[in-house]
Amino acid sequence: MAEITVTEHLLLYQKKSPHATGMFTGLLYDLILSAKIISRRIAKAGLLDILGGTGEINVQGENVQKLDDIANNILTWRMERCGALCAMSSEENAELIRIRPDFPRGDYILIFDPLDGSSNIDVNINVGTIFSILRRPHGNSGDATLEEVLQPGANQVAAGYVLYGPSTMLVFSTGQGVHGFTLDPGVGEFLLSHPNMRIPSQGSIYSVNEGNRKNWSKATREVVDWFHTCRSRDGKIYSSRYVGALVADFHRTLVNGGIYMYPADSAKPQGKLRLMCEAAPLAFLAEQAAGCASDGRGRILERVPEQLHARTPLFIGSADDVAAVERIYGKYEKS
């Protein structure tokens, strides 16, 4: 098979899309380069003194891991220089990251979780980077305001993730399907390995942190009980899988089908996951791959964030499995 690099793929799609510009392709190129640098640091994490926490607590009230900090700095440093952005937002920073006035800027807004699932780093389990790209309303200039950034996920022009697993994979969509690339460390390039990824309409795996059951509502218990007892179309009993790193759990769901769930509960009434840097980009990929993403009531992509770090419940994966969740919650809302 001819090996297509991600850069060749981007250029090909740039030619096909009347909206794609060299600036947008350049933005993705710098993002991909940052991911390669992060991947190299993670691969050596056990050998260098970069495991463990920094002793700080981030804006989300969580312990900052040294690698969280490293990944955040790598992305921020390179992306603020890329010339395509008018603002950035990172899971690790409370406020919008402004582009320095002496750097060139463009119309795009980049939102990212530099290292998702970072509580897994010390035990050498998968982590990932998630990104979302929005465009500021036409005609505006200067620094993007918070109002310009707080857009529903349906407005994303691109979204994706990098999974640092046994292989490093980049999966993204610019609104023309979902494509997966695997990093060939020898060549130093991401090569197209998973063209046109599609989520099966029903799976046979459910993924949820069942340790939270004591905090779940009656409706959420019924949702999870549904997956304990239902069967897939080919008669399989659903299996349970939970990595605890969203990128890894989502990637499995994208490839094999099934559902990933992080519901709201009495301890986390808004849910745990961040709408803008976690749920919305993965929802964009899910829909591009013929799957669904819901907060239990409706599409994640229609939710307008009320703040930068807004949280949401998330049910994402195979269309039929997500529909089953909405059906059960709907029943409770009516009663």
Binding site for ligand AHM (CB under 6 A): 62, 91, 113, 116-118, 209, 244-246, 249, 272
Instruction: Give the one entry of ligand AHM, Mg ion, none that residue 244 binds, where binding means its C-beta sits below a cut-off of 5 to 8 angstroms depending on kind.
Output: ligand AHM
Nearer to Mg ion, 59 or 191 (CB): 59
Classify residue 267 as exposed, middle or buried by CB count within 10 Å of its CB (0-12, 13-18, 19+). exposed
Nearer to ligand AHM, 157 or 248 (CB): 248
68 lies in the binding site for Mg ion (CB under 5 A): no
CB of 215 to ligand AHM, least distance (A): 11
- How crowded is residue 206: how many other Cβ atoms within 10 Å of its Cβ? 25
CB of 234 to ligand AHM, least distance (A): 28
CB of 55 to Mg ion, least distance (A): 20
Q: How far is CA 81 from CA 58, 110, 280, in A?
A: 24, 13, 25
Please report, in angstroms and rounded to a whole number, the separation of the first and last CA atoms in the chain: 56
CB of 281 to ligand AHM, least distance (A): 13
CB of 139 to Mg ion, least distance (A): 33
Nearer to ligand AHM, 165 or 175 (CB): 165
249 lies in the binding site for Mg ion (CB under 5 A): no
Instruction: Give the one entry of Mg ion, ligand AHM, none that residue 263 binds, where binding means its C-beta sits below a cut-off of 5 to 8 angstroms depending on kind.
Output: none
Question: Contact 133/27 with Cβ under 8 angstroms?
Answer: yes
Classify residue 82 as exposed, middle or buried by CB count within 10 Å of its CB (0-12, 13-18, 19+). buried
Binding mask 103-142 for Mg ion (x = CB under 5 A): ----------x--x--------------------------
Instruction: Give the one entry of Mg ion, ligand AHM, none that residue 265 binds, where binding means its C-beta sits below a cut-off of 5 to 8 angstroms depending on kind.
Output: none
Instruction: Give the one entry of Mg ion, ligand AHM, none that residue 143 binds, where binding means its C-beta sits below a cut-off of 5 to 8 angstroms depending on kind.
Output: none
Alpha carbons within 13 angstroms on the beta-carbon side of residue 231 total 5
Nearer to Mg ion, 86 or 279 (CB): 279
Question: Contact 116/278 with Cβ under 8 angstroms?
Answer: yes
- Alpha-helical runs (H) found in 145-242: 146-149, 218-229
- Burial code (b: 16+ CB inside 10 Å, e: under 16) for 271-308 equals bbbbbbbbbbbbbbbbbbbebbbbbbeebbbebebeeb
CB of 58 to ligand AHM, least distance (A): 8
Instruction: Give the one entry of ligand AHM, Mg ion, none that residue 182 binds, where binding means its C-beta sits below a cut-off of 5 to 8 angstroms depending on kind.
Output: none
> Which helix or strand (DSSP H or E) is residue 56 part of?
strand 53-57
Q: How many residues bind Mg ion (CB under 5 A)?
A: 2
CB of 253 to ligand AHM, least distance (A): 11
Cα–Cα dist 224/218, whole Å: 10
Give the interface with Mg ion as residue ranges (CB under 5 A): 113, 116
